[in-house]
Amino acid sequence: GGGGGGDADVVIDPCCGGGTILHAAWARGHRAVGGELIALNASNARGNIASFRPHMPALHASLLAIDDDADAPAANEGRGGKRTLDATTGLLSPPPVVLDNDATAPTDWAATVKATTGREDARVAAIVSNLPFGRQVAVGGGPGGGKRGGATDDEYAPLLRALRDHAPRHVFLSGVPIAAAMREVGYEGVVEIALCRRGRTFMTVAAGAGGVVPTPSTAFSAREAARAKAEDGYVHAATPDWVAEAEEEEECAAASGGTPRPPLRVAIDASYEQDSQRAIRSVAKQLSECLGVTRKTNKAMDVTVDLTFASWDGTVGAHAVEHFNAERWVGVRRDARKVEDIFSSASASSASAGTDLVYLSPDAEDVLEDVDADTVYVIGGIVDLAARGTATSLPRARAAGMRTARLPIREHLPRCTSQILNIDTALKVLCEKYAGKEWTDALEAALPARQQGERPARFNRPLNANKEGEEAIASASLE
């Protein structure tokens, strides 16, 4: 299929793999051409692009609407005129083309984009590529070095040299810092940032001679990330100014809003001994998801959540600090004490002294009837992968002398496949109910559809789904 006129600029991804960057360029209305050395990857990329073909006209139409809302000169600057949708395909640009090509071999990309687009005015605007990291696939297409392997800047040098003169701008993702190697082979206007605190991914931009060199604002440097990778460590950076300023703005907004609604008080009990490293990571990740729940609740429902992570000095807290940057989490209180000690009348502040505690457990006999501001709701921080079906939170709560209750899932969602919820899902249920919804509505809003008893998608597929899917992809590829 074709695309609308007006855009002669083409994005090149010479190491396109499965086609992620090609899809990203196409989704923004840009023409794109990819190259891939490994035939299977090239075939997968074509199939992936074809699978997005049915949804692209609507996306391109929305992009055109944005262009129309913007100033015409700014929206179409550098595009050779106003962009239009193709009358036949409804696209701003045709699907990306994937070529079987070795990026290190001499390639006339200028001629290639003219041939593949059918436009004599087509030109390479930028080369954007996720270069081989050297773990699964080495530079040059050979086998990678595995999880602990990785390409070096010396191995990247021939590839960088081969791509240098084919575009005015370059953006590369790599597994090691390559800014020095790029400068050494002649790239200009080079700037580099680390995308991972463990030093596993770096992005390097070459703006070219006379280009505008970006000045990114980052919390840690590429050098710090590279050192963390060498030491198999992690970059622990201070809170950047923009985070502190945002927190201050939130506090000021809260102070000027009059008498606020009392917060919903929730504590996550992280005192459990998890049965595996996988379980530790799962709990830590769910705790990080809880922060997103509280932010969305505050924004969408005008409900503030007073959140506490109890027994923070255990393995879950340590894992969250190391792998989820928990030192910079905001909007949560991290306390090394047990949850019953935090909220006991003897040790709690005057605001929490004598507070009613309700420990939520799917095995409790009593049903939680309502969610109010006078109660602290305790959620067990456990993912017991090795002993599913064994009551865990109930004996923990009884040993601490806390009242227990279960969410009324079976009463309001009788088709629900499980009474056991993720930590962040249980928190979301409490937030939805505290915001004023009825239990059925709160549960339906919080629980994933698959857990509410929805028929699994695999049972809705026709028996010849694979054959039909292959035919659809083949047909889309020919459009």
Tens digits of residue pLDDT in 217-267: 787 888 888 888 888 887 876 666 666 666 676 666 656 555 567 999 999
| DSSP three-state, residue 120 | coil
What's the distance, CA 281 to chain centroid?
Answer: 17
Residue 10: enclosing H or E segment and its boundaries?
A: strand 9-13
Q: What is the pLDDT of residue 8?
A: 85
Other residues' Cβ atoms within 10 Å of the Cβ of residue 321: 18
| DSSP three-state, residue 323 | helix
Q: Averaged over 286-303, what is the pLDDT?
A: 91
| DSSP three-state, residue 334 | strand
Task: pLDDT band for 448, please (50, 70, 90 cuts).
Answer: confident
Question: Does the pLDDT value for residue 147 go beyond 70?
Answer: no
Identify any residues that bridge with 378 across adjacent strands, giving them in sequence order: 267, 359
Q: Averaged over 297-326, what is the pLDDT?
A: 91
CA distances from 245 to 74, 133, 402 (A): 31, 37, 39
Entry pTM: 0.56
Let me know if 391 is exposed, middle or buried by CB neighbors in 10 A (0-12, 13-18, 19+). Answer: middle
| DSSP three-state, residue 182 | helix
- Looking at residue 329, the DSSP 8-state letter turns out to be -
| DSSP three-state, residue 58 | helix
Q: Among 52-56, 104-108, 407-411, 471-475, where is mean pLDDT lowest?
A: 471-475
Encoded amino acid at 187, one letter: Y
Question: Does the pLDDT value for residue 276 go beyond 80?
Answer: yes
Question: Does the pLDDT value for residue 289 go beyond 90?
Answer: yes
Other residues' Cβ atoms within 10 Å of the Cβ of residue 476: 18
- Owner of token pair 């306390």: 335
Q: What is the pLDDT of residue 82?
A: 72
Give the strand pairing for 305-310 and 333-335. parallel
- Among residues 89, 97, 125, the alpha carbon closest in space to that of 23 is found at 97
Tens digits of residue pLDDT in 166-195: 999 999 999 889 999 999 999 999 999 999
Contact (CB, 8 A) for 32 and 10: yes
- Among residues 171, 148, 169, the alpha carbon closest in space to that of 230 is found at 148
**What does the CA dihedral 453, 456, 461, 467 come to, rounded to 10 degrees?**
170
Q: Give dist(CA 457, CA 447) in Å, integer.
A: 17
Encoded amino acid at 436, one letter: G
- CA angle 144-146-147, nearest 5°? 135
- Among residues 131, 159, 164, the alpha carbon closest in space to that of 20 is found at 131
Let me know if 458 is exposed, middle or buried by CB neighbors in 10 A (0-12, 13-18, 19+). Answer: exposed
Question: For helices 39-52 and 465-477, what crossing angle results, to 10°?
Answer: 90
Length of the chain: 479
Tokens encoding 110: 């200028």
Please tell me which of 51-55, 257-261, 447-451 the model is most confident about, judged by mean pLDDT.
51-55
Task: pLDDT band for 451, please (50, 70, 90 cuts).
Answer: confident
DSSP-based helix, strand, coil % in the chain, nearest 5: 40, 15, 45
CA distances from 446 to 300, 406, 414, 419, 442 (A): 14, 16, 15, 13, 6
Identify any residues that bridge with 140 across adjacent strands, giving them in sequence order: none
Tokens encoding 181: 């190697």
Tens digits of residue pLDDT in 153-168: 788 899 999 999 999 9
Q: Give dist(CA 263, CA 87) in Å, integer.
A: 54
Q: What is the pLDDT of residue 206?
A: 95
Please tell me which of 32-36, 220-224, 445-449 the model is most confident about, judged by mean pLDDT.
32-36
Half-sphere CA count of 368, side-chain side, radius 13 A: 31
- Among residues 1, 38, 10, the alpha carbon closest in space to that of 115 is found at 10
